[in-house]
Amino acid sequence: MSVRLAAAFVVAALVAGVFVTEAAAPDFPALGIQPYEPRKPAPAFALPDLDGRTVTLESLRGKVVFLFFWTTW
């Protein structure tokens, strides 16, 4: 019984060690990737819509916005 109890303590200690130990941060440069950094908010701007009304970016907060700029240079 004491061998089983000792084995149970060893297993419990190993499991606890896995959950308590913090993982090291990945070495991003060595992996060739960049860590995620939250983007800066878009600058405030206003554009006319197809009906000539001015639409501000602030009025679209919380909605998906797709901007498509097209030119014929």
Q: Output the tens digit of pLDDT for each of the chain's 73 residues.
A: 577 777 777 777 666 665 555 667 778 888 888 888 888 888 898 989 899 999 999 999 889 988 788 888 7
Contact 49, 60 (CB under 8 A): no
Q: Would you list the domain boundaries of the chain?
A: 2-60
CB atoms within 10 A of CB 6: 10
pTM for this predicted structure: 0.39
| Contact residues for 44 (Cβ-Cβ < 8 A; gap 6+) | 56, 57, 58
